[in-house]
Structure 1
């Protein structure tokens, strides 16, 4: 169970409102709302304050976080490599379907999906003129190059290593994080 959900569940069992919990912990009501909705991950001292206010052991939250991290790692280890591997088809639809389907369950899937889609769009842009003008040697080299890059990056993501898609035009932009 996510920490925010656990806090909400414990708070409701105690019959405490978000306002009361905020007053007991010196945390703003908005922050309590954001934690419970899963918009932010609370820091350890925030969790400690909430644990004291809800009269539970801090370990309850620590155990919850360990469970979530184990689940997240398992999800990442399965779906991110599959997402990269879907790029072998040189069709944009499979990565988009995986992205939309797993966007709420797999952390960082958006960035991986955008990288794959950008690479596929770039390769399509390079391959199309080669096919139209019958430049078969370049067509073959680009085709093999794209397949090798996708396989190498799939292996890297499986090993939790950084990956890179060369010759990629950034059609879709990554979100800027503060």
Structure 2
């Protein structure tokens, strides 16, 4: 239940009008009305005053707050971490992260496929670089390949945090 609806329900159970609740707090009747209608989100201090006036515990309002934004940020953070695990071309850390979060976040499978395909690209570039090193004794291709792969993994992690399309030729966004 939204905080405003909860306040209204508690106020009505106490038999108070919005004006009476406002007089028991340092909040105007118009502000009480706007809170109850969901037009504004009350500050913690205002919620404390309302909780005191309604004789309820302040935590009732705090526990009632929606956690969707926190979950969305957590999902973005895990997706970014998944891409950062691609810096090291080992599939094990990425696989461990994916198995830990695959049932808890919505878009983790998309980010997992992107991170794994990037790691596979880094492996292929590394193998080609090793072959060039073996034939010509030049280590520059392998170093450039690893740097580009790491840079793309870091950029994808940042893009995952800001909901931007990922850099990956093999995965459609």
> TM-score of the superposition, structure 2-length normalised?
0.54
Contact 1:87 1:116 in 2 (8 A): yes
Q: Structure 2: which 5+ runs fail to align?
A: 1-64
Which secondary structure does the structure 2 equivalent of 1:147 belong to?
A: helix
| CA offsets 1:88-147 (integer angstroms, 9 cap, x no match) | 111111111111110111111011101110111122022113213414221121111111
Q: Structure 1: which 5+ runs fail to align?
A: 1-65
CA–CA separation in structure 1 for the residues paired with 2:152 and 2:76: 19
CA–CA separation in structure 2 for the residues paired with 1:129 and 1:164: 21
> What's the Cα RMSD here?
2.1
Contact 1:99 1:109 in 2 (8 A): yes
1:146 is aligned to 2:149: yes
Contact 2:79 2:111 in 1 (8 A): yes
Structure 1 counterpart of 2:160, from 138, 143, 157: 157
User: Which residue matches 1:119?
Assistant: 118
CA–CA separation in structure 1 for the residues paired with 2:146 and 2:76: 27
Contact 2:156 2:167 in 1 (8 A): yes
Which secondary structure does the structure 2 equivalent of 1:140 belong to?
A: helix
CA–CA separation in structure 1 for the residues paired with 2:84 and 2:156: 9
CA–CA separation in structure 2 for the residues paired with 1:105 and 1:165: 24
CA–CA separation in structure 1 for the residues paired with 2:106 and 2:114: 15
User: Which residue matches 1:70?
Assistant: 69
Query: Which runs of at least 4 in structure 1 moved beyond 2 Å after TM superposition?
Result: 66-72
CA–CA separation in structure 2 for the residues paired with 1:123 and 1:77: 23
Contact 1:84 1:150 in 2 (8 A): yes
Contact 2:118 2:153 in 1 (8 A): no
Alignment of 1:2-151 (within 5 A): 67=66, 69-134=68-133, 135-151=138-154
Contact 1:127 1:142 in 2 (8 A): yes
Which secondary structure does the structure 2 equivalent of 1:67 belong to?
A: coil
Contact 2:83 2:157 in 1 (8 A): yes
